[in-house]
A and B are shown apart, each in its own frame.
Chain A
Amino acid sequence: MGGLLSRRNLHAVDDVNLRIHPQEIVAIVGESGSGKSTVARLLAGVYRPTSGDIRYRGRSISTVRSHRALRSYRSHVQMVFQDPYSSLNPVYPASHGITRALKLHRPELGRAARRDEAIRILESVGLTPSAEYIRKFPHELSGGQRQRFGFAQALASKPEIILADEPVSMLDVSIRIGVLNVMADLRRREGLSFLYITHDIASARYIADRLLVMYAGEVVEQGPVEDVLQHPKHPYTELLLSAVPDPRAPLDATAKADIGEPPRVIDPGEGCRFRWRCPYRIDTCDTITPRLRPLRPDHEAACHVAQSELSASEGARSSGA
């Protein structure tokens, strides 16, 4: 419905529904192994979903078979990877990926136009003076500059969505913000959408509009980023938020060590996957897998306890309709 991308029913990543709207930055947070990177790879077409559907501008991509249609999809949905040290070919200038993408995806451009376009793209990711950067080899670049090239490369095909899988986690802390700002600028100036995958909830808050929290392959909570942070509904989100190291956070002496262990995603069976770590566990959690239900405007969580609290406070009105 109006989303650029929508999708249902995946298995290793289980029953994930996700929409990215034009000019929107959606962040997925979760611990390692929660399936957040798998989501990005599914969207990029690296993996095919076992079941379910991914739609781009209303058209399902699972039915796309022709080489040309696939290329067109890939030109619109680009990916930026985590490790800027291994994603640039060391034997070519770093701009090689940009010019190659221009040749492939925008064949109408001539040699001179390609160069102009490459320079424009480098400028848009803050690599100035661009005429100089266009000649540089990867070994001449710092991690932050390499990652900017990663974004430039993705931009070359004029995408509408960039899937950024932990794009700053390998970078030095002092330059992470710069790269996040590049994403924010691209959204504002070029109207791009982003899927930002991260384990750092604070950086998600910094640039994203909407936040999805994943746990054990499932989305357990999603909503506008501020609303999720101010009013977390799922106990895992609460746990995540309380664990963020933040010198500006109020000091809570009672914070206890979490005894739980990450979940097993192989054959999880019925029931809530978070129940072993959950302080609010009730009997229902052992037998019925909770589904995402709206608990606040545009804000859903998959938790029996939060849902029953809501229905208790709202009388008999069913919350799932």
Chain B
Amino acid sequence: MSVAPHVLEVKDLVVDYYAGKTRTRAVNGVDLQLGRGEFLGLVGESGCGKSTLCFAIARLLGDNAQISEGDVLFAGQNLVYLREKQLRHLRWRGYSVVMQSAMNALNPVMTVGAQLTDAMKAHTKISKRDARQRGQAVMQLVGIDPIHLESYPHQLSGGMRQRAMIAMALVFIPDLIIMDEPTSALDVVAQRSLMIQIKELQRELGFAVIFVTHDMSLVARFSDRLAIMYAGEIVELGETRQVFTDPQHPYSRGLLSAFPSIHGEREELKGIPGSPPDLRNPPSGCRFHPRCPSVMKICSTAEPPAYSPRGTDLVRCYLYADQEAEHIQLRSVP
């Protein structure tokens, strides 16, 4: 990874959900740094906490969730302690979020253009004419004819609505865009063209991306680094190519071998036995140990710390304890 200053730094973040008296720890001590203009793929299964992590970073958690520990450093401020009013200055302009349900996130009774103008007016002083011009510019950026500023969401196809949402996120060209499964509602063809477009925009405009997905092959071509999440923790983090060619954590290996391919030999795949744990009652020790093919005695009793074997940024697994005794030292912000 480059030595460029971090655009985002997440330190030891813990997020809990409360339902009555039960507490569910959905994010359990996540550390993450994101370089300027970096594309990070955040991969995990449903319920692993990847969306919660993103919402926590963006401070969009609902009332039943709270950040219990940790820091989110962005643009020289700790987002965890900011009030709504202060956050408003950063939202859209500093960072923006493209939601998973982007297809339904548009207001059906307003034209796309009116919604864009709305967002701009809420976050900056801008004249009607400038707002209009900027609206046209971002629509062109995402490859939609600006004529559709006059369209209502139902007049656009799914792919176009999704691109319109991305256009809104781009309105102020923020430093960071968090995308929570923006392509999961699209079919493969539309999905691929959207990915190519996001990547081109990112190269052109230089924003950093956290791209959440459950399909790691989707980001294989597009992300610089890959973070694999399991049961509320990042279990492996490294350069995308490295993670694909030589995954270190048994979960990453299992996940990679769980996808059938359209290339090469047709071979029988095993997947990963068992199913993801219930976070209300997570397994002791390493949370993956009940499903792990390489489980050892220690795994059920102690939580594995973060190791960094063979050029990876982080692997949370005791397999690497003797290979590398040194624990990751968290770099602090300058």
Contacts and interface: CB of A to CB of B under 8 A. Distances in A.
Contact of A206 (B196, B220, B266): B266
Contact of A241 (B217, B262, B266, B272): B262
A240 B188 contact: yes
Nearest to B213: A245
- The residue among A178, A239, A240 with the most chain B CB atoms within 10 A of its own CB is A178
Contacts of B269: 177, 181, 206
Interface string A62-104: 0000000000000000000000000000000000000000000
B275 A177 contact: no
B264 interface: yes
B271 A248 contact: no
Given A203-B260, A246-B263, A248-B263, A174 B271 contact: yes
Contact of B189 (A203, A240, A248, A249): A240
B191 interface: yes
B192 interface: yes
Contact of B193 (A174, A206, A246, A257): A257
B276 A199 contact: no
A192 to B, nearest CB: 18
- A interface residue count range (under 10 / 10 to 19 / 20 to 34 / 35 or more): 35 or more
B215 A173 contact: yes
Contacts of A174: 45, 254-255, 258, 271-272, 275-276
Contacts of B273: 178
Interface stretch (A42-50, A112-120, A139-147, A151-159): A139-147
Nearest to A247: B220
B237 to A, nearest CB: 17
Interface in B224-244: 244
B159 interface: yes
A177 B188 contact: no
A107 to B, nearest CB: 36
Nearest to B245: A247
A105 interface: no
Contact of A261 (B159, B256, B258): B159
Contacts of A191: none
Contacts of B221: 245, 247, 251
B139 to A, nearest CB: 15
- B interface residue count range (under 10 / 10 to 19 / 20 to 34 / 35 or more): 35 or more
B18 interface: no
B261 A176 contact: no
A257 B197 contact: yes
Interface in A179-201: 180-181, 199-201
A245 B258 contact: no
B187 A178 contact: no
Interface string A225-253: 01001000000000111111111111100
A271 interface: no
A288 interface: no
B214 interface: yes
A262 interface: yes
Interface in B258-285: 258-264, 266, 268-273, 275-276
Contacts of B216: 247
A173 B230 CA distance: 12
Contacts of B189: 31, 239-240, 243, 258
Given A251-B221, A258-B190, A177 B262 contact: no
B43 to A, nearest CB: 9
Contacts of A178: 271, 273
A172 interface: yes
A180 B194 CA distance: 29
Interface in B67-101: none
The 7 closest A-B pairs by CB, nearest first: A177-B271, A31-B187, A257-B193, A206-B260, A142-B275, A247-B220, A243-B192
9 contacts: A172-B46, A172-B47, A177-B269, A202-B261, A206-B266, A244-B262, A245-B195, A257-B193, A261-B160
Interface of A: 31-32, 142-145, 172-178, 180-181, 199-203, 205-206, 226, 229, 239-251, 255-259, 261-262
